[in-house]
Amino acid sequence: MAAAAAGSGTPREEEGPAGEAAVSQPQAPTSVPGARLSRLPLARVKALVKADPDVTLAGQEAIFILARAAELFVETIAKDAYCCAQQGKRKTLQRRDLDNAIEAVDEFAFLEGTLD
């Protein structure tokens, strides 16, 4: 059954480490007509890239990759900040949660002092 369901886009059951059945999440199709591949407006990303005087040309693929990287960055820092909020027994993100996430995660060290 697992081989038949592998490419069908439907969740399939797999046996987890404790022996229980776990449902794996299907991969999002990338060629669905009308599906947006980026949540950020590419025209806005392109305008930001062109605002840099060092950039003369920016291909559409490069703009897409930059938009996707920005989405992943925002998602990562938001998740880490939300963990900080949960430690404070809150569900609402506050500025101090972003500050705490920046201090706690080494990958965000380049942001230290930028939110002041």
Residue 57 inside a domain? The answer is yes
Query: d(Cα 82, Cα 101) in Å, to the nearest integer?
Result: 9
Which residue from 74, 80, 78 is spatially nearest to 45, judged by alpha carbons? Answer: 74
Residue 1 inside a domain? The answer is no
* Per-residue pLDDT at 113: 85
* Per-residue pLDDT at 60: 94
* Per-residue pLDDT at 30: 53
Give the pLDDT means over successive 10-residue stretches in the chain (116 positions): 45 48 49 70 94 94 96 95 95 93 92 83
- Quote the tokens at residue 37: 């591949």
* Per-residue pLDDT at 26: 46
The CATH number for 97's domain is: 1.10.20.10
Q: For residues 98 and 77, is the Cβ–Cβ distance under 8 A?
A: yes
Residue 9 inside a domain? The answer is no
pTM of full prediction above 0.85 = no
Query: d(Cα 100, Cα 56) in Å, to the nearest integer?
Result: 37
Tell me the CA distances in angstroms from 59 to 34, 41, 49, 62, 65, one per residue in order.
22, 15, 11, 5, 10
State which residues form the domain around 62.
Answer: 40-109
* Per-residue pLDDT at 114: 83
Residue 47 inside a domain? The answer is yes
Residue 88 inside a domain? The answer is yes
When divided into structural domains, the chain yields a total of: 1
